[in-house]
Amino acid sequence: MQEYTLERSVEVDITCSVEEVYNLWEDLENVPRWIPLVKEVKVLPGSEQLSRWKFGLGAPLLTEWTSRITQRIPMQSIAWESVSGLPNHGCAQFFPTDRGCRLRLKLAFNLPGGIVGALIKGIGVERWLEANLVESLKRFQTLIEEEVLRKAVR
C-alpha cells in the first residue's frame, strides 16, 4: 500500500524582529498557543533535540509522535522530522523584511495509501490543512505582535 504525502507551505509577515519571532517559535512547548490542533509539546528531558507531540481534534481523533530537530540555524531556520509515530517533517524559516520578519512554515505528513488515503483525500484534507496553517500563523502573528507591544509599553 503506497503512502500519500501531504505537503503545504504558508507564510505570514510579522511586524516584529527576526530575533523576537525566532525566540518565541524556538521554544516548542509554546506551539499549542497558536496551533489549536497541537494539544501538547514536551521537550524530552536530557535532549533539547527531541520532543513529544500530541496532535488532533481530541480523543479518539488524537495522534502522537516524537520529533527530532534536524537543523537549527539561529535567526534563520528550525527543521525537524518525526522519529516515531505519525511520519512527518517540516521547517520554519525566518526572513528579515523592511517591516520585521516573514515566517515561512513548511509541513509534510505521510498518510496511508489505499482506501484510507483515498478517503482522506476525498474529504478535502489538503484544503483543510492549508486553511488551518494559515489561521495558525495569523494567530501566531497576533500573539507575538501583542506580546512585543505589551513589553514596549512597560
Q: Choose among 96, 91, 72: nearest CA to 81.
A: 91
Task: Report the predicted TM-score, pTM, of the whole model to 2 decimal places.
Answer: 0.85
Which residues have C-beta within 8 Å of that of residue 16, sequence separation ≥ 6? 100, 101, 144, 145, 148
Instruction: Please say whether the structural domain 4-153 has been given the CATH code 3.30.530.20.
Output: yes
Digitized pLDDT (tens) for each residue of the chain, 154 residues in all: 566 677 889 999 999 999 999 999 999 999 999 998 889 999 999 988 999 999 876 666 678 899 999 999 999 999 999 999 888 999 999 999 999 999 999 998 876 666 655 666 666 567 777 788 899 999 999 999 998 878 877 6
- Domain spans of the chain, in order of start: 4-153
Residue 74, CA distances (Å) to 20, 32, 36, 64, 153 in order? 12, 22, 26, 27, 27
What per-residue confidence (pLDDT) applies to 60?
63
